């Protein structure tokens, strides 16, 4: 007598939705070197020097890409200075929002002007 095939039983359990923020913002510590080019009007030459600047912010997307922003103005320019961050599902569709802990206050914007 040969073996008979056992029927397979599969149970359909809905998978838990994995939600990710569209991006995260992290303040980087310390400073980093930045090369600045200056045109010398007397010698008619371009001179460069290295200055230390604030390390800035690291913005990471839900796909794992990242960009370094030098300051708060750059964060606002790329849209990462918003108060609410969209939550995305596995397909990349927005399903909700969460509070941005690094959001810039209106008072900070007024003080920069």
- pLDDT the model gives residue 47: 92
d(CA 61, CA 20): 9
- Determine phi and psi for 16, rounding to 5 degrees: -70, 135
| Continuous segment of H or E residues that includes residue 73 | helix 72-78
Residue tagged 């927005």 (tokens): 94
How far from chain centre, in Å, is Cα 59?
2
In a domain, 83, yes or no: yes
The terminus-to-terminus CA distance of the chain in angstroms comes to 88
Q: How many structural domains are present in the chain?
A: 1
In a domain, 6, yes or no: no
Q: Residue 90 belongs to what domain range? A: 20-104
In a domain, 95, yes or no: yes
d(CA 106, CA 5): 69
Measuring CA to CA, which residue among 79, 86, 89, 35 is closest to residue 59? 79
Mean pLDDT by runs of 10 across the 113 residues of the chain is 66 72 92 93 92 94 92 90 88 88 56 41
- pLDDT the model gives residue 102: 74
In a domain, 15, yes or no: no
Q: What is the pTM of this model?
A: 0.67
């Amino acid at each position: 007598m040969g073996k008979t095939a056992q029927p397979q039983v599969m149970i359909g359990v809905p998978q838990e939705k994995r939600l990710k923020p569209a991006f995260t913002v992290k303040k980087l510590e310390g400073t980093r070197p930045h090369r600045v080019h200056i045109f010398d009007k007397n010698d008619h030459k371009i001179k460069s020097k290295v200055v230390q600047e604030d390390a800035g912010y690291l913005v990471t997307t839900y796909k794992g890409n990242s960009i370094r922003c030098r300051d708060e103005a750059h964060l606002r320019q790329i849209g990462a200075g918003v108060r609410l961050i969209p939550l995305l599902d596995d397909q990349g569709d927005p399903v909700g929002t969460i509070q941005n802990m690094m959001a810039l206050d209106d008072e900070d914007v007024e003080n920069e002007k």
